[in-house]
Every structure is written in structure tokens, then in C-alpha cells.
Amino acid sequence: MEMYGAIEAFASLSQETRLKVFKLLLEYGTDGLIPGKIAAELKIPDNTLSFHLSHMSRAGLVTSKKQGRSVTYYANCDLITGLIEYLQENCCAREAPSKSKKSRNERKC
């Protein structure tokens, strides 16, 4: 995953309603949910939910599948796996300090 993709995903998840929607979609896993059920369960107006699902889709956090007149939304678990790997590779690791001198800033996750 590239930095820009990680930034987009984290920015999208940094909003309370989108985080709640994403958590709910994760709970339903491969079954996914239709917008009406998401709106009812989280008590979100339809137009507000539509805005947030659109934002999350652009960030790659959710995918959708149209079946007739119905659309089912799913959490993109591959993206979350990529975000975790990105953090582990780029944010939690530091180059090994030289043998003669250890860095005070060296941290491990």
C-alpha cells in the first residue's frame, strides 16, 4: 500500500459515523448489508448514510454489489490488512542503529 492510499483510508475512518458503519460492516462479514439495514441499525438518515458510503467507497474501505434493484455493501478487509501491514512496515519499524550508538527514539510495536 502506498502512503496516499493509507492517508485516504485513515481520513475516511476518522469520522464517527463512518467508523460506526465500517465496524458494523465488519461484523456482518461476507454477508454484507443493504443501506436500509445499516441506516436502521445505526439510526442514520438515508441521505446521510449515502454520503458516508460514497466517501468510504472512494477511500476503498467498502465495496458494493448490485443485485437487481438492491445494493449490498461489504467492508474491504483486504484494505484493512494492507493498512496494518503499512503501519508495521512504515510506522513501527526503524532502521537498526549503528552498533556503536543506539537511538533514544527507537521503538517497537
46-69 per-position pLDDT tens digit: 999 999 999 999 999 999 999 899
Nearby residues of 99 by Cβ (< 8 Å), 6 or more positions away: none
Longest dimension (CA), the chain: 66
Which residue ranges in the chain fall short of pLDDT 70?
Answer: 93-109
User: What's the CA gap between 65 and 44, in Å, rounded?
Assistant: 21
Round to whole Å and give the CA distance between 42 and 62.
17
Indicate the CATH number for domain 3-90: 1.10.10.10
Rounded percentage of the chain residues whose pLDDT exceeds 90 = 67
* First-last CA distance in the chain: 19
Q: Give the whole-angstrom CA distance, residue 109 versus residue 102.
A: 17
Residue tagged 458510503 (cell numbers) = 53
